[in-house]
């Protein structure tokens, strides 16, 4: 969930009202935002960087940090937030965005070479903009928030904004070998080519994360003006030549992308939110983007579409019963201008503006009805059907056995499913290659390399961490291990195991054996003797985790279901245990 | 308490008392030639046999005693007298005098000067110490030899000079009690089978019981506190008529974890920063083809009344195996099965509580694996009001009666509501869960009828448990570092009971 920081006093000026923190929090809550923190630039610097020296000169103006829902890109800056809240409060109508046709449109031509790396581009112009320091900062912050969220850290879309009066169209979007691209990057003085640029920014705190998006490509995307001045090298950096300043009047906006839908949304969002600062508010100048096949598409789209929503269905979805006109008012407050259909009183015509790309289905409109109505005003009801409930049999058995094993004097542990390769292999005298383990591809630490194939390491770690407890320590866990299995749908399956350990001055094989006997007794499984064809028994075996001659397979109806024995001293040592232990571990799935 | 040595001593004390009116325990110790502490122990053991055997009175006495230095003075004379004695008729150089007089010479010299016993003859060079009087009486020594006659002022003076110390001596004054006897009856500690069989219990005397001491801890095993809460949640769902989903599949295909839930393939949650992807086995087996096709379509171009996300959906991305990030993956599988029932749709209520895995930053309240609690209801015409009503009932069973709902965004529910509850202890509203109505883009491709709505909510098991039991670090609750003492002493889980 993105968080934006806005100056409180600017916000209240724009909203036309001063709130207490609590009042503003309530407004946020009702609208689906969260006032995350009340702070100042000074506090943020001190807290985030511990940089008291830098913080000394920082502003002490109050800043509200507000959490914005991840799909509401139109709320990612002060301008958008204020408009949406004022509309929500019914103070203004949603703005209408209009195109202003210039004498000659700006043209951006897409070269076919871009198909190799970043095939899409869109563009727009904002005319006669007046920037103040605050609105300029907001403009830069908005681009950053969009880059971090919908643009997926610039992989899907990269935004470039330029002072149009410093450059000359038509513009050309190309992909060239990095050595051939030469320009002075934003806020630098020295000209670099594409290769040098990668080295130059390799350690840059913010920019280094974007380098891998194109670094290894044979060609880099680049936008030139008519005089071969570089506007930008997306998705890394703009040129210094065309940079925006407080004096900039006319802004050229380009977005290059690997996802055209998102590029259109980003462009719409920027022009909708910042056309507020144009001399003629909410007007945008369209650009012609020449596609590789020669066709021309006009951007931004700024499409307003009308959805027909059934009053009956909307009411039924939420569980309310409001007249059509009331629903229309509520939706208009949610930035969706709505009228009751002239011919059909059960139908609403809902206008979805270019700021609300999150609305893709009628259910998104229903949600806005519910928010405008107030979630906490909706009448409580209960689903009117009955069902005879059923437990999942394996979980039911697990619950019953947990009680029984605890009653037998063993204390329950809850250990981690993820562990290191060594935990299940080396420390147990096993080879990892020989185990049917599921391996994690992107573990951040050793603790998350594999999914456990046995419950034993978790119990041994619990024993070590509780060495101060008096002996004997008797622990158990009934939980899942995961085994790679080609026959399973995803190539791996869970197995529910019961594992118990006895830790005492002597190993006490008979203690865990006694527990096994008790569990079998409560499962009505007999000890198999002589010629009986059903039941459980122990079958001597050797296992490097166990002491030689003190290890057996747990057999059930002649199949191996687990292992029991005295743990090998080298295993105890590997887990830092100095007391002998005996252990039993077996699957309980055959008993469901 | 009843070693043979001690019972012998108790008898000796009782016999001694028989012949005298009263005796002090210190006196007894001296006469018996035994440490005083042992006498006191024996008296206590006599008292344990019966309150009225002896009359015992505590006595505190103060007595004066010479310190080591005081003893030296009493034997060899005071420092000033010794210095006086060391001065010959013809006088002596001060340095020689002090050298001859030992450690206390300086002290004795000052004192002798102030008493007017000596004087300094400065008419010669070097100055000589000479006697001023011919003879002296060493009063200090005489007084220390007669401690009993010292005045309070003198006592204070000698204490200050560290020649005297005052001792506090505690002892017991013993006399015969109302039930005095020279022999002790042996007291029994416990009732035994032998006593019952012989009927002896009627004659025997039993040792008084100390009801202030704790009993012996019962030998037992205990269930884990978090799993006790899990059982309680299961119970609540079962009481509400919800059936349990089969969640025993930690490894899941991206398809069920994300795509089936209408979570687009570029969604940040699908980033390696948030999700554990499985390297081996890296890919799931075949997915249901026609369903996959419907999901692909609704993502890329829309359908079922939706505009879709407008991107190029990739099967390879959906086939990537991962550790499920939520149990909602299982809800998707369950709802898909519900849609495929041969006899047509029937309404259903499901729940699950099981582990999920996130490759996120770890801190005091976040682990890479935790338990998710989830409830799902599917029926024709369900409303957001039904969800709100159900949540109120559910949380009431957890002992939470005040709820508020906040609009939020989830990729797979619309409307979406965060659930807040009022925590009286913290005196604020805290988020306790997330909920919503599953999007039609999720439900309809599964093949559920168009008028069916599916309500769902989820919360973590750990968070309410930590709040309930006041645990600040999740590692104190989950994992090998759990304190087994806490596990063993933990109460039963009664969520609706404070």
**pLDDT score for B4:** 66
Question: For A106-110, A391-395, B268-272, which range has the lowest pLDDT when averaged over its residues?
Answer: B268-272
Task: Check whether A253 has a pLDDT greater than 90.
Answer: yes
Query: Over the stretch A510-526, which tens digit does the pLDDT of each residue have?
Result: 999 999 999 999 999 99
Please report the DSSP string for A290-325 in residue order. Answer: E-TTS-EEEE-----EEEEEEHHHHHHHHT----HH
Asked, for residue B235, whether it belongs to a domain, the answer is yes
Q: Which of residues 201-260 of B touch A (CB under 8 A)?
A: 219-224, 226-227, 231, 234, 237-238, 240-253
Both B291 and B171 in one domain: the answer is no
> B73 with B53, same domain?
no
- Nearest CA distance, B414 vs chain A (angstrom): 6
Question: Could you tell me the maximum CA-CA distance found in chain B, to the nearest angstrom?
Answer: 137
The closest CB to that of A411, out of B222, B381, B393, belongs to B222
CB pairs under 8 A between A and B: 288
Distance from CA of A519 to the nearest CA of B (A): 15
Percentage of residues of chain A with pLDDT beyond 90: 86
Mean pLDDT of A376-390: 94
B126 and B178 together in one domain: no
A418 to chain B: closest CA residue: B369
**Residue A52 in this model has a pLDDT that exceeds 80:** no
Chain A: residue whose CA lies nearest to B378 = A383
H or E element that contains A177: none
**CB of B440 less than 8 A from some CB of A:** yes
Render pLDDT for A415-446 as a digit per residue (tens, 0 to 9).
999 999 999 999 999 999 999 999 999 888 88
User: Is the model's pLDDT at B5 over the cut of 80?
Assistant: no
A12-38 confidence digits (pLDDT tens): 999 999 999 999 998 998 888 888 889
Q: pLDDT tens digits, residue range B46-76?
A: 887 777 888 888 888 888 888 888 888 888 8
Q: Do B260 and B117 fall within a single domain?
A: no
Write down the CATH number for the domain with range A98-299.
3.50.40.10
Task: Clarify whether residues B107 and B230 are in a common domain.
Answer: no
A348 or A52: which leads in pLDDT: A348
Question: Is B170 in the same domain as B155?
Answer: no
Inter-chain CB proximity A490 and B253 less than 8 Å: yes
Q: What is the pLDDT of residue B335?
A: 97
Three-state secondary structure call for residue A206: coil
Mean per-residue pLDDT, B479-493: 89
CA distances from B177 to A16, B32, B54 (A): 93, 22, 4
Q: Identify the bridge partners of residue B353 per DSSP, sorted by sequence position.
A: B373
pTM: 0.80
> Residue B266 pLDDT > 90, yes or no?
no
**Residue A323 to residue B364: CA distance in whole angstroms:** 50
**What six digits make up the tokens of A519?**
């569990």
- DSSP for A424-486? HTGGGT--GGGS-PEEESS-SSGGGSEE-S-SHHHHHHHHHHTTTSPSPEEEEEEEEEEEE-T
B122 and B255 within one domain = no
The CATH number linked to B123 is 1.10.10.2330
- Band of pLDDT at residue A82, cut at 50, 70 and 90: very high
User: Boundaries of CATH 3.30.930.10 in chain A?
Assistant: 393-591
Residues B409 and B462 in one domain: yes
Domain with CATH 3.50.40.10 in chain A: 98-299
Whether residue B241 has pLDDT greater than 90: yes
One domain for residues B258 and B293: yes
Question: What is the separation of C-alpha A38 from the centre of its chain, rounded to a whole number of angstroms?
Answer: 25
Closest residue to A375, CB basis, from B323, B348, B407: B407
> What pLDDT digit, counting tens, does each position of B151-161 carry?
888 888 888 88
Q: How far is CA A205 from the centre of its chain?
A: 22
- When CB atoms are compared, the residue of B276, B281, B480 closest to A448 is B276
B361 found inside a domain: yes
Range of the domain at B84: 68-160
pLDDT number for residue B184: 76
CATH number, residue B416: 3.30.930.10
Please, what is the end-to-end C-alpha distance for chain A in angstroms? 43
Residues of chain A neighbouring B379 (CB-CB closer than 8 A): 383, 385
pLDDT of residue A54: 65
On whether both B116 and B11 belong to a single domain, the answer is: no
Return the minimum-mean-pLDDT range out of A129-138, A344-353, A356-365, B110-119.
B110-119
Mean pLDDT across A35-62: 77
Among B480, B483, B486, B492, most A C-beta atoms within 10 A, so best to mutate, is B480
Could you identify the residue written with the tokens 């998102």?
A262
Does any CB of chain B come closer than 8 Å to the CB of residue A104? no
| pLDDT at position B116 | 84
pLDDT of residue B224: 95
Whether A389 and chain B come into contact, CB under 8 Å, resolves to yes
Tokens 């999150």 locate to A358
| Of the candidates B88, B80, B67, the residue with the CA atom closest to the CA atom of residue B106 | B80
Q: Using CB atoms within 10 A of its CB, is residue A434 exposed (0-12), middle (13-18) or buried (19+)?
A: exposed
At residue A57, the pLDDT reads: 73
Output B328 or B166, whichever has higher pLDDT: B328
Scanning B85-104 for CB atoms below 8 A from A yields: none
Tell the residue number behind the tokens 């919908």, with chain if given.
Answer: A150
Whether residue A492 lies within 8 A of chain B, CB to CB, comes out as: yes
The third-level CATH classification (topology) of the domain covering A305-374 is Phenylalanyl-tRNA Synthetase; Chain B, domain 1 (3.30.56)
Q: Is B205 a member of any domain?
A: no
Pair type for strands B243-244 and B348-357: parallel
Give A217-242 pLDDT, tens digit per residue: 999 999 999 999 999 999 999 999 99
For residues B135 and B39, membership in a common domain is answered with no
- Distance, CA of B83 to CA of B138 (rounded, Å): 11
CB atoms B409 and A71 under 8 Å: yes
Q: Is B347 a member of any domain?
A: yes
> Which residues 359-378 of B are in CB contact (within 8 Å) with A?
359, 367-369, 377
pLDDT confidence of residue A552 = 96
Best interface-test mutation with B: which of A383, A401, A451, A478 has the largest number of B CBs within 10 A? A383
Q: How far is the C-alpha of A419 from the C-alpha of A218, rounded, in Å? A: 41
Q: What's the CA gap between B415 and A361, in Å, rounded?
A: 11
State the pLDDT confidence band at A2, using cuts at 50, 70 and 90. Answer: confident
Cβ atoms < 10 Å from Cβ of B114:
10
Q: What is d(CA A136, CA A132) in angstroms, rounded to the nearest whole number?
A: 6
Residue-wise pLDDT for A113-169, tens only, equals 999 999 999 999 999 999 999 999 999 999 999 999 899 999 999 999 999 999 998
Whether cis (ω within 30° of 0) applies to the bond prior to A399 is no
Q: How confident is the model at residue B100 (pLDDT cuts 50, 70, 90)?
A: low
B262 conformational bin, left if phi > 0, alpha if psi -120 to 50, beta if neither: left
Indicate whether B212 belongs to any domain. no
Residues in B touching A362 (Cβ below 8 Å):
305, 440
Distances (CA, A) of A92 to A88, A104, A509: 8, 34, 79
**Residue B3 binned pLDDT confidence (cut-offs 50, 70, 90):** low
The answer to whether residue B80 is domain-embedded is yes
Q: Residue B498 — very low, low, confident or very high, per pLDDT cuts 50/70/90?
A: low
DSSP string, B153-188: HHHHHHHHTTSEEEEEEEEEEEEE-TT--SS-PPEE
Q: With CA atoms as reference, report the closest residue to B314 among A258, A72, A267.
A: A258
State the pLDDT at residue B188. 82
- Domain containing residue B19: CATH number: 3.30.1370.240
**Average pLDDT, rounded, for chain A:** 93
**Mean of pLDDT values over B20-42:** 87
B439: nearest CA partner in chain A = A363
Q: Give the closest of B227, B311, B441 to A261, CB-based.
A: B311
Using the Cβ of A410 and the Cβ atoms of chain B, whether some distance falls under 8 Å is answered with yes
Q: Are A452 and A424 in contact (CB under 8 A)?
A: yes
Mean pLDDT calculated for residue range B98-102: 70
Closest CA–CA distance from residue B3 to any residue of chain A (Å): 30
- What pLDDT sits at residue A572? 96
Q: How far is A102 from chain B (nearest CA, A)?
A: 31
Using DSSP's 3-state secondary structure scheme, residue A254 falls into: strand
Q: How far apart are CA A558 and CA A535, in angstroms?
A: 8
Domain count, chain B: 3
The chain-wide mean pLDDT, for chain B, equals: 88
- Is residue B199 within 8 angstroms of chain A, CB to CB? no
Residue B495 lies in a domain: no
Percent of chain B with pLDDT over 90: 44
Phi-psi sector, A429: left (phi>0), alpha (psi -120 to 50), beta: left
Residue B194 included in any domain: no
Q: Which residue has the tokens 């207490």?
A: A20
> How many DSSP H helices and E strands does chain B contain?
19, 18
Nearest CB among A71, A378, A480 relative to B385 is that of A378
Partner-chain contact B388 A378, CB within 8 Å = yes
B342-362 burial, b if ≥16 CB within 10 A, otherwise e?
A: eeebebbbbbbbbbbbbbeeb
| Contact (CB<8Å) A417/B483 | no
B319 shares its domain with B443:
yes
Which of residues 17 through 56 in chain A touch B, CB cutoff 8 A?
29-32, 34
Helix (H) / strand (E) containing B195: helix B193-198
Of the listed ranges A344-353, B61-70, B381-390, the one predicted with least confidence? B61-70
A420/B189 Cα distance (integer angstroms) = 55
A3-88: what CATH class?
A: alpha beta
Distance from CA of A553 to the nearest CA of B (A): 25
pLDDT band for B1, please (50, 70, 90 cuts). very low
Residues B444, B304 contacting (CB under 8 angstroms): yes
- For the residues of B336-404, what is the DSSP string, one character each? HHHHT-TT----EEEEEEEEEE-----BTTB-SEEEEEEEEEEEET--HHHHHHHHHHHHHHTT---EE
* Res A484: pLDDT: 96
Find the residue in A nearest to B361 (Cα).
Answer: A444
Tokens of A3: 């968080």
What CA dihedral angle connects A195, A198, A199 and A204, to 10 degrees? 160
Superfamily classification of domain A393-591: Bira Bifunctional Protein; Domain 2 (3.30.930.10)
State the span(s) of chain A assigned CATH 3.30.56.10. Answer: 3-88, 305-374
pLDDT tens figures, B339-374: 999 988 999 999 999 999 998 878 888 899 999 999
């Amino acid at each position: 969930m993105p968080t934006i920081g806005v100056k409180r006093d600017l916000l209240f000026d724009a909203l036309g009202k001063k709130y207490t923190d609590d009042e503003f929090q309530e407004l946020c809550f009702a609208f689906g935002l969260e006032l995350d923190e009340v702070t100042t630039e000074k506090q943020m610097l001190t807290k985030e960087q511990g940089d008291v020296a830098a913080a000394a000169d920082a502003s002490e103006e109050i800043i509200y940090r507000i959490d914005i829902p991840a799909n509401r890109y139109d709320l990612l800056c002060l301008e958008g937030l204020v408009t949406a809240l004022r509309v929500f409060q019914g103070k203004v109508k949603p703005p209408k965005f209009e195109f202003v046709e210039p004498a000659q449109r700006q043209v951006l031509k897409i070269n076919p070479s871009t198909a190799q790396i970043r095939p899409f581009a869109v563009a727009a112009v904002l005319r006669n903009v007046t920037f103040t320091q605050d609105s300029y900062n907001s403009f830069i912050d908005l681009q950053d928030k969009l880059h971090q969220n919908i643009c997926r850290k610039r992989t899907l879309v990269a935004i470039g904004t330029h002072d149009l009066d410093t450059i000359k169209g038509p513009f050309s979007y190309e992909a060239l070998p990095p050595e051939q691209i030469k320009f002075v990057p934003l806020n630098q003085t020295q000209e670099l080519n594409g290769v040098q640029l990668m080295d130059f920014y390799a350690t840059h705190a913010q920019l280094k994360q974007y380098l891998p998006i194109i670094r290894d490509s044979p060609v880099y995307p680049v936008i030139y003006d008519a005089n071969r001045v570089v506007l930008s090298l997306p998705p890394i950096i703009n040129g210094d030549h065309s940079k925006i300043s407080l004096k900039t009047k006319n802004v050229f906006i380009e977005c290059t992308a690997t996802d055209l839908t998102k590029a259109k949304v980003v462009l719409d969002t920027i022009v909708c939110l910042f056309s507020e600062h144009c001399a003629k508010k909410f007007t945008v100048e369209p650009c012609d983007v020449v596609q590789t096949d020669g066709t021309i598409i006009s951007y931004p789209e700024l499409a307003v579409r009308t959805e027909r929503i059934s009053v009956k269905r909307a009411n039924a979805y939420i569980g309310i019963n409001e007249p059509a006109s009331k629903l229309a008012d509520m939706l208009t407050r949610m930035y969706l201008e709505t009228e009751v259909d002239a011919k059909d009183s059960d139908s609403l015509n809902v206008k979805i503006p270019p700021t609300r790309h999150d609305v893709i289905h009628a259910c998104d409109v229903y949600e806005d009805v519910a928010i405008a109505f107030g979630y906490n005003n909706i009448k409580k009801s209960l689903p009117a059907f009955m069902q005879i409930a059923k437990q999942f049999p394996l979980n039911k058995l697990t619950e019953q056995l947990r009680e029984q094993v605890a009653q037998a004097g063993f204390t329950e542990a809850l250990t981690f499913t993820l562990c290191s390769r060594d935990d299940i292999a080396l420390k147990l005298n096993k080879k990892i290659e020989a185990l049917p383990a599921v391996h994690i591809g992107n573990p951040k630490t050793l603790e998350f390399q594999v999914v456990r194939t046995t419950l034993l390491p978790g119990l041994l770690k619990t024993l070590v961490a509780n060495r101060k407890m008096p002996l004997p320590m008797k622990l158990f866990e009934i939980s899942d291990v995961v085994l790679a299995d080609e026959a399973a749908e995803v190539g791996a399956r869970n197995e529910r195991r019961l594992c118990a350990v006895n830790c005492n001055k002597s190993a006490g094989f008979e203690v865990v054996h006694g527990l096994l006997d008790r569990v079998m007794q409560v499962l009505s499984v007999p000890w198999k003797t002589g010629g009986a064809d059903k039941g459980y028994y122990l079958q001597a075996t050797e296992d490097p985790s166990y002491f030689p001659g003190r290890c057996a397979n747990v057999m059930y109806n002649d199949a191996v279901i687990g292992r029991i024995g005295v743990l090998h001293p080298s295993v105890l040592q590997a887990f830092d245990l100095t007391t002998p232990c005996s252990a039993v571990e077996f699957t309980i799935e055959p008993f469901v | 308490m009843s070693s043979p040595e001690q019972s012998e001593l108790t008898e000796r004390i009782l016999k001694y008392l028989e012949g005298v009116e009263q005796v002090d325990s210190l006196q007894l110790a001296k006469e018996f030639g035994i440490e005083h502490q042992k006498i006191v122990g024996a008296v206590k053991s006599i008292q344990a046999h019966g309150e009225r055997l002896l009359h015992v009175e505590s006595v505190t006495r103060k007595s004066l005693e010479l310190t080591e230095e005081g003893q030296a003075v009493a034997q060899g004379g005071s420092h000033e007298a010794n210095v006086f004695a060391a001065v010959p008729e013809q006088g002596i150089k001060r340095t020689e005098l002090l050298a001859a007089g030992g450690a206390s010479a300086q002290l004795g010299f000052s004192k002798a000067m102030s008493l007017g016993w000596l004087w300094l003859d400065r008419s010669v060079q070097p100055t000589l110490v000479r006697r001023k009087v011919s003879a002296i009486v060493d009063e200090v020594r005489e007084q220390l030899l007669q401690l009993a006659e010292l005045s309070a002022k003198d006592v204070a003076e000698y204490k200050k000079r560290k020649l005297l110390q005052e001792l506090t001596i505690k002892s017991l004054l013993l006399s015969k009690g109302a039930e005095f006897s020279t022999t002790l009856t042996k007291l029994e500690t416990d009732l035994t089978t032998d006593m019952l069989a012989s009927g002896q219990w009627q004659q025997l005397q039993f040792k008084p019981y100390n009801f202030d001491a704790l009993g012996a801890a019962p030998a037992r095993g205990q269930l884990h506190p978090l799993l006790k809460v899990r059982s309680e949640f299961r119970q609540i769902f079962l009481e509400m008529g919800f059936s349990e989903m089969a969640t025993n599949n930690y490894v899941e295909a991206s398809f069920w974890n994300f795509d089936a839930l209408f979570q687009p393939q570029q969604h940040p949650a699908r980033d390696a920063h948030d999700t554990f992807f499985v390297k081996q086995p890296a890919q799931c087996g075949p997915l249901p083809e026609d369903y996959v096709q419907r999901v692909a379509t609704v993502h890329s171009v829309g359908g079922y009344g939706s505009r879709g996300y407008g991107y190029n959906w990739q099967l390879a991305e959906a086939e990537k195996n991962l550790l499920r990030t939520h149990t909602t993956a299982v809800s998707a599988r369950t709802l898909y099965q519900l849609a495929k029932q041969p006899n047509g749709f029937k309404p259903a209520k499901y729940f699950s509580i099981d582990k999920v895995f996130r490759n996120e930053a770890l801190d005091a309240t976040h682990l890479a694996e935790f338990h998710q609690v989830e409830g799902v209801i599917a029926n024709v015409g369900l409303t957001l009001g039904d969800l709100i009503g159900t949540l109120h009932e559910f949380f009431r069973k957890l002992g939470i009666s005040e709820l508020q709902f906040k609009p939020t965004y989830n990729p797979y529910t619309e409307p979406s509501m965060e659930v807040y509850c009022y925590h009286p202890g913290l005196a604020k509203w805290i988020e306790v869960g997330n909920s919503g109505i599953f999007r039609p883009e999720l439900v309809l491709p599964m093949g559920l009828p168009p008028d069916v709505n599916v309500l769902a909510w989820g919360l973590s098991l750990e968070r309410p448990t930590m709040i309930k039991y006041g645990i600040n670090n999740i590692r104190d609750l989950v994992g090998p570092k759990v304190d087994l003492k806490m596990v063993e002493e933990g109460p039963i889980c009664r969520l609706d009971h404070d």
